[in-house]
Amino acid sequence: KAGVTQTPRYLIKTRGQQVTLSCSPISGHRSVSWYQQTPGQGLQFLFEYFSETQRNKGNFPGRFSGRQFSNSRSEMNVSTLELGDSALYLCASSFAGPGEKLFFGSGTQLSVL
């Protein structure tokens, strides 16, 4: 069974640009959640999607958005990039979400110059 796949693996952008990250969950998993990982802040919850609906979101500005498609694949978008957005972005999938084991992808390393 294929694991959680995130693309691209690395991204370099400049301030003001926008970026889209992709996450393909494990087959059969309908919940996809996103996290920002930085050395100083650990893992910060961005949002979670289930059956194309966002069920909850973390404390991030509106520049961070996401969506989920009918095949459970999810995308995350960051608009008007800032230097502080440089981080590893991880997605995780689970069958239904709450209280289940999260399977993480390898992440997308975003560098904003």
Positions that interact with another protein (CB under 8 A) = 31, 33, 35, 41-45, 48, 50, 55-58, 90, 96-102, 104-107
Alpha-carbon Rg for the chain in angstroms? 13
78 or 93: CB nearest another protein: 93
CB of 17 to another protein, least distance (A): 26
43 or 113: CB nearest another protein: 43
**Burial environment of residue 109 by CB neighbours within 10 A (0 to 12, 13 to 18, 19 or more):** middle
16 or 98: CB nearest another protein: 98
